[in-house]
Amino acid sequence: MEKKAKAPRVISDTTLDRYLGAILALRQRIPIVRSVDVANHLGNSKACVSMALKQMTVQQLVEVGPHGALLLTEAGERRATGHRDSCRYFQRLLVQSGVPEQEAHTEAAAITRVISRPSFEALQGYLTRMGIDAE
């Protein structure tokens, strides 16, 4: 009986955004970000980080540099900062609406995980036209 090859596990865009965001955040605190740093930051196993890194490398979002340094490509940087900025936008909007800071942070992260970039931009544009600014 022939053994079927396992299809590579595809990691969701939401999960990839978490990894990219972790690299972006860690890079501001430590000079060289490695996969173990990302694993510790997110509370994931090194094996999970390794699978995500493989996919991010294939998608040209991350490169692995000397000494295992994780480097965001231009596309990875754009995606990570876009995700971070969306989260910050929703957090400010929620705080301005009267939601406590910590709760706003948690809920903004949840909103950012489910909203697409085009929907976010449409909503942001609409709120701006309505005179609601979360800046």
pLDDT per residue rounded down to tens, the chain (135 residues)? 566 655 567 788 888 999 999 999 999 999 999 999 999 999 999 999 999 999 999 999 999 999 999 999 999 999 999 999 999 999 999 999 999 999 999 999 899 988 888 999 999 999 999 998 876
pLDDT confidence of residue 7:
54
pLDDT confidence of residue 96:
93
pTM confidence score: 0.80
| 14 neighbors 21 (Cβ within 8 angstroms) | no
Phi, psi of 71 (to 5 degrees): -120, 125
* 3-class SS of residue 35: helix
| 19 neighbors 8 (Cβ within 8 angstroms) | no
pLDDT confidence of residue 134:
75
> 128 CB contacts (<8 Å, ≥6 apart)?
none
Q: How far apart are CA 103 and CA 93, in angstroms?
A: 12
Report CA 54 to chain centroid distance, whole Å. 16
